[in-house]
Structure 1
Amino acid sequence: MVQVITASRPEWIAPFTGLEPGQFRKLVRLVAKRGGDEIADGRPGRQWALPLADRVLLVATYWRTNLTMRQIGPLFGVSHSAAHRVIDTIGPLLALAPVRKRRVDAVAIVDGTLVPTRDHRLATPSKNYRYSSNVQVAIDAETRLVIATGDPQPGSRNDCTVYRDSGIAEHLADQPVMADGGYQGNPEVVMPYRRPRDGSDLPDWKEDLNATHRTIRARVEHVLSRMKNFKILRDYRRAASTLGDTVSGIANLHNILLTD
């Protein structure tokens, strides 16, 4: 089988991954450091048909394009089953590294997004009229880098519940957190002021604070939009158990794109 796409030709990297060659090399070094070069092809004594750089390129291309395994395999000169094993093995090694230390005054912004998911063991009918999973993403308000992602939850659950159940609340403990009005019941989260129950208008100073809050909170919506440039988050066909690693890996790619 002839290989069409290879990392040895830098002109193929940006069109299929969104990464510049320098950013891609940084990604390959990260995977190598995490043990990607030491993993064999599932059977003792048999090594991967593709070098590490091509395997990383395969995963990034798959996430970016959401091609099927039978489409992505021939592009890299491997069978669809080999492509599947590459994604299963390399994907988790691309995950976002935990933030070890943040400034005391650092503010996080959190929001949830619905990822259409075909595995109904996790996905449920949600407000987008599709079977979806609710994924929580938190960013640093100043740098706009993703600092944490939550474990995917059924899409029918409210953000206020998923925020607690997904584990992302623990990642953001003891730090100021901003979110929209859907996070009621989480007292540590800073939300916009709500209108009184009698329907009267808010005072001007509260309206001004709400306007500022919306402006800052929009940053996480922009991040979610950029993450969904990786089309796999628009129609997730793989097992739901792999969605968390995929979201975390795409968050890592987003951070590389933003900082380099």
Structure 2
Amino acid sequence: MTYEQLQHLQPKAFKRRCGVQPDTFNLMVEILNPHLDRRGKRGGQCKLSVEDQLLLVLEYWREYRTQFHIGTSWDLSESAVCRLISKVERLLMDSGKFRLPGKKQLYQQADNWSVIVVDVTESPIERPKKNQRAYYSGQKKYHTLKAQVVVNQQTGQIICTAFGKGRVHDFRLFKIEQLPMLPEQLCLADKGYQGLAKLHSSSCLPTKKPRQSKLAKSERQHNRLLARLRIVVEHVNRRLKIFRILAERYRNRRRRFGLRFNLISAILNFELASPS
């Protein structure tokens, strides 16, 4: 389906189909138009309009079909689809419209982010030809790439991300990243971050059940209340994995995974901040 067939959809249906809101789509077209619209210029001219080129890329993120299947749907070669996806992603990142705040903002805007939530989500990958053990996740029982997200508990905004191989423990990834948090900022985490209090005094973790024993009633209540506060990061992970390129087995080059993850995260932040 081309953009002309989709532009008459209701905003809710348009987002279900493309993964982004119509206003976000229009902004992305404005960014891409000076670079992709080559009418009246020398050189090659893509047979698709700028809107359809963007729609192709969103379809790739949203459905994660192979580039060969997408090429046959749009009457393009597989190599042309690959080049177009890479070009659109680079132009959107270089525009500066879709950028995450970054970890430096944790202390520069500490008043805005008094409570943050940290969590790790994993994306499966194809079994590597070399160094397989480094990517094998003992929790998931297959090879993965890990992405740590730091989220504002009040708004659900993604502040910063960090990436690691599947074998790296969640807490080890946190220590490698060295988030510059101020002492008055409260950090909420799950059971995988045991020992966080030694690095950051203002942290809150669930109480682990001791062996051959049960948790006290107050400890169970504490865990439930903490889970209610931390649920915001689970919703963020769910919104990210609506784009199947982050949820299904990642088939592309692993070095480009972080760029796509950050770009999709920034798009979600933009839609979260938009009045619509």
The TM-score, its normalising length taken from structure 1, stands at: 0.79
Structure 2 counterpart of 1:157: 168
**In percent, how many aligned pairs have the same letter?**
25
Structure 2 counterpart of 1:245: 259
Structure 2 counterpart of 1:178: 188
CA contact (8 A) 1:227 1:251 kept: yes
CA contact (8 A) 1:195 1:202 kept: no
Deviation at 1:62, TM superposition (A): 0.6
Structure 1, residues 20-47: CA drift from partner, whole Å, max 9, x if none? 3223113334x44xxx733799xxx635
Gaps of 5+ in 2: none
CA contact (8 A) 2:146 2:165 kept: yes
Structure 1 counterpart of 2:142: 130
What is the distance in 2 between the residues matched to 1:10 and 1:236?
30
What is the distance in 2 between the residues matched to 1:48 and 1:183?
52
Structure 1 counterpart of 2:100: 98
Gaps of 5+ in 1: none
> Are residues 1:212 and 2:225 paired?
yes
What letter corresponds to residue 87 of structure 1 in structure 2?
I
The TM-score, its normalising length taken from structure 2, stands at: 0.75
What is the distance in 2 between the residues matched to 1:176 and 1:63?
34
CA contact (8 A) 1:196 1:202 kept: no
What is the distance in 1 between the residues matched to 2:112 and 2:210?
31
CA contact (8 A) 2:37 2:49 kept: no
CA contact (8 A) 1:119 1:238 kept: no
Structure 1 counterpart of 2:18: 17
Tell me which of 246, 250, 256 is aligned to 1:236: 250
Deviation at 1:64, TM superposition (A): 0.4
Deviation at 1:244, TM superposition (A): 0.3
What is the distance in 2 between the residues matched to 1:130 and 1:56?
33
> Are residues 1:26 and 2:27 paired?
yes
Report the 3-state secondary structure (helix = DSSP H, G, I; strand = E; otherwise coil) of the residue aligned with 1:132: strand
CA contact (8 A) 1:116 1:235 kept: yes
What is the distance in 2 between the residues matched to 1:160 and 1:38?
42
Tell me which of 84, 87, 110 is aligned to 1:86: 84
> Are residues 1:118 and 2:126 paired?
yes
| C-alpha spacing 1:59/1:24, structure 2 compared with 1 (3 Å) | same
What letter corresponds to residue 133 of structure 1 in structure 2?
L
What is the distance in 2 between the residues matched to 1:74 and 1:59?
14
Deviation at 1:249, TM superposition (A): 1.7
> Are residues 1:109 and 2:117 paired?
yes
- Give the count of matched residue pairs: 245
| C-alpha spacing 1:148/1:201, structure 2 compared with 1 (3 Å) | same
Q: How well do the aligned residues superpose, as a CA RMSD in angstroms? A: 3.1
CA contact (8 A) 1:105 1:176 kept: no
What is the distance in 2 between the residues matched to 1:164 and 1:11?
49
Tell me which of 70, 73, 82 is aligned to 1:72: 70
Report the 3-state secondary structure (helix = DSSP H, G, I; strand = E; otherwise coil) of the residue aligned with 2:225: helix
> Are residues 1:145 and 2:142 paired?
no
What letter corresponds to residue 149 of structure 2 in structure 1?
V
**Mapping for residues 185-196 of structure 1, pairs under 5 Å:** 185-186=195-196, 187-188=199-200, 189-195=203-209
Report the 3-state secondary structure (helix = DSSP H, G, I; strand = E; otherwise coil) of the residue aligned with 1:112: strand
